[in-house]
Amino acid sequence: MACEFCGLSEEEKKWLLTETKHWVIYLADVQDYLGRSIIVSKRHCESLSELTTDEWQDLQVVIKSFEKMLKNEMSATMFNWSCLMNDAYKQKEPCPHVHFHVRPRYEAPISVGEMTYVDEDFAHHYNNQAKSKVMSEVVGQVFARLKGNISNYFEVI
């Protein structure tokens, strides 16, 4: 059994934004939704039901801090949160590891560097199909903006 999150390479940790006592926040490498991130449990835990009370309480702080940061720094309007873990079940011996996807959503166009981002599906279910790779080019810019202000939202541990 191979857990996709317990053995992340240094390259895969490239966009690590911050960590709390129980969670690590990575900016997703495909920025189809600006600020799209993945919140991963530090402990190998296979379902939401198995999270401890302490992990669950810490998650609430992470959600509040993340939403506040993305509203302030990126002008996000609202957020789509999901905990799916389907990919793990593609393996013969599934080894799921609790993680959340968060997609900030934007009512108005947003400027990032020289480009303007428009959330074309706003107010509709996120588009789960891979889009143009254009947005991957801005991941460094989004990362720098969030990482540079991270201490205003998350305690340094």
Full 3-state SS string of 100-134: EEEEEECCCCEEECCEEECCCCCCCCCCCCCCCHH
Part in contact with a copy of itself (CB under 8 A); list of ranges 11-19, 30-38, 118-126, 137-145: 118-126
Question: Collapsing DSSP states into helix, strand and coil, what is residue 66?
Answer: helix
Among 79, 136, 138, 145, binds a copy of itself (CB under 8 A): 79
* Nearest residue to 37 via CA among 55, 63, 75, 72: 63
Among 86, 111, 116, 132, binds a copy of itself (CB under 8 A): 86
* Nearest residue to 26 via CA among 99, 96, 135: 99
Site for a copy of itself in 19-78 (CB under 8 A): 47-49, 51, 53, 56-57, 60, 63-64, 67-68, 77-78
For a copy of itself, the binding residues (CB under 8 A) are 47-49, 51, 53, 56-57, 60, 63-64, 67-68, 77-87, 89-90, 94, 96, 105, 107, 122-126, 128
